[in-house]
Amino acid sequence: MRPTVHDIARAAGVSLATVDRVLNARPGVRGDTIVRVNAAVDALGYVRDAAAANLARSRRFRLAFVLPRVDTAFHAALRAEVAALRPHAAMDRALIELAEVPAESPAALAATLDRLAAEGIDGVAVMAAETPQTRDALRRLRTAGVRVVTLVADLAQSDRDHFVGINNVAAGRTAGVLMGRFLGRDPGRILVFAAAMSARDQAERRLGFDRVMQADFPQHAVLPTAEAHDDPDLAARRVAQALATHGPLQGIYCIGSGKRGLARALAEAGLARRTTVIVHELSPQTRLALEDGTFDVAITVDVGHMVRSAVRVLRALAGGGTIIPAQERIRLDVVLRENLP
């Protein structure tokens, strides 16, 4: 039989309440009593029963995901994973809500965060760009005792408790080394596509990519960024433009979303399967393009893991458990046709 708080109390000659205070590092216990209790804990090899503790607390955790209302496969996946986790989180006494705010509207975001704080939320996972208004709102949240994790895009350390996402410079570097190695020795031209070079994570990917190309693969020319704004026709025109201006294209690196039209544009230009294409995020379309060879690599992240990690971390921060750091490291997934999940 494993020792319980009763055994500790008896062994240390104190009451249950005192044992509880010591175990939870609550104030109001004399130093030598603390020592006595801890000695008993060690002597008996006591381990706290998390389930019983949570039951007794009957504490519920109210958590919220605050996501921009953007219509990409990535955002849809994020919403779906949040919804999918809800029942499991409920069994774990965590109530998850999903708040969507207009993209690029710091004011709307701030209003939502303030509302959540007022409603007594315990933790918030927020995906947002860094703006002064957002920083202020997050600071108010945290001052109100709400735990905050940033999701996908990080903010300054001081404004959040934890970041759930990948290192985008490393993602860009990975794309770079794969592009360089796939293209080989012969000089080539690489077109870089971006949705819009606003987001910090896209800039970081670009940075990592450029650094690796310059340092390790100087034989290739990386053309200026082309923006396609999620528009297939525009994407097709950008490819045509690049071909006209610079000549044949050996590689395409698609840095963010906005690759929905890319496969079509490549087919129209007769470049499908003849150009090395590296993209980010594994959407259903990306999957198809990988399967038929139009795309070569997708560098992606397990959205489900991110959402689960955010919930685990918020729960732990809000006082409902411990975290296993290795479990919360978000991995960069390199997906080829051969290892499509």
Partner DNA sequence: ATGAAAGCGCTAACAC
Partner DNA sequence: GTGTTAGCGCTTTCAT
Smallest gap from residue 324 Cβ to its own copies (A) = 6
Which residue do the tokens 């985008």 mark? Answer: 168
The residue type found at 1 is M
- Residue 6 or 229: which CB sits closer to DNA? 6
28 lies in the binding site for DNA (CB under 7 A):
yes
SS3 65: strand
For its own copies, the binding residues in 305-324 under the rule CB under 8 A are 305, 308, 321-322, 324
Judged by CB under 8 A, the number of residues near its own copies is 51
The only residue of 185, 244, 245, 247 in contact with its own copies, by rule CB under 8 A: 185
For its own copies, the binding residues in 247-286 under the rule CB under 8 A are none
280 bridge partner residues: 299
| Rounded Cα–Cα distance for residues 313 and 48 (Å) | 20
Strand pairing category for 162-164 and 147-151: parallel
143 lies in the binding site for its own copies (CB under 8 A):
no
302 lies in the binding site for its own copies (CB under 8 A):
yes
Smallest gap from residue 59 Cβ to DNA (A) = 6
For DNA, the binding residues in 4-23 under the rule CB under 7 A are 4-6, 13-21, 23
* Segment (H or E) for 176: helix 168-183
300, 304, 306, 309 alpha-carbon torsion, rounded to 10°? -150
| Rounded Cα–Cα distance for residues 312 and 310 (Å) | 6
Smallest gap from residue 330 Cβ to DNA (A) = 30
Cβ-proximal residues to 45 (8 Å cutoff; 6+ apart), any chain: 3
| Rounded Cα–Cα distance for residues 296 and 293 (Å) | 6
- For the sheet with 162-164, list strands across it: 94-102, 61-69, 123-126, 147-151, 162-164
For DNA, the binding residues in 59-78 under the rule CB under 7 A are 59
Smallest gap from residue 221 Cβ to its own copies (A) = 19
Contacts with DNA, 43-62, as mask; x by CB under 7 A: ---x-xx--xx-xxxxx---
* Segment (H or E) for 183: helix 168-183
54 lies in the binding site for its own copies (CB under 8 A):
yes
Instruction: Tell me which stretch binds DNA (CB under 7 A): 24-32, 105-113, 137-145, 243-251.
Output: 24-32
The only residue of 176, 251, 256, 258 in contact with its own copies, by rule CB under 8 A: 176
Residues that bind DNA (CB under 7 A): 1-2, 4-6, 13-21, 23-24, 27-30, 33, 46, 48-49, 52-53, 55-59
